[in-house]
Structure 1
């Protein structure tokens, strides 16, 4: 169980990084009308929360 929580935390942290990069690209786009459809800010927030909870569960199981 501990290894799986650590892997969930790492995967969520990677997803957070990807979402932040995508959100930065959206904010610095050339064509203002080309907004896309992915809610990168919400995805980043959910990934950060999942990473924090998985890290807490991993530390509690140690």
Structure 2
């Protein structure tokens, strides 16, 4: 069970990094009036919470 949780933790970490890059790209766009459909800060926060939970469970087992 622990390897699965560590794999999930790695996936959530990758998702958090990708969301951070997406938010950075959104903030630096040329046309400030063009809106995106993904709320990157929320995606990043949820990924970090899921990372903490899965890593905590992996350490506990």
Same fold (TM over 0.5): yes
Per-residue displacement from partner, 1:8-42 (whole Å, max 9, x unpaired)? 10000000000000000101110011121101110
- Aligned counterparts of 1:16 and 1:34: Cα–Cα separation in 2: 23
Size of the alignment, in residue pairs? 61
Alignment TM-score, normalising by the size of structure 1: 0.95
1:13-24 correspondence runs (5 A): 13-24=13-24
Q: Runs of 5+ in structure 2 lacking a partner?
A: none
Q: Which runs of structure 1 show a deviation greater than 6 angstroms over 4 or more consecutive aligned residues?
A: none
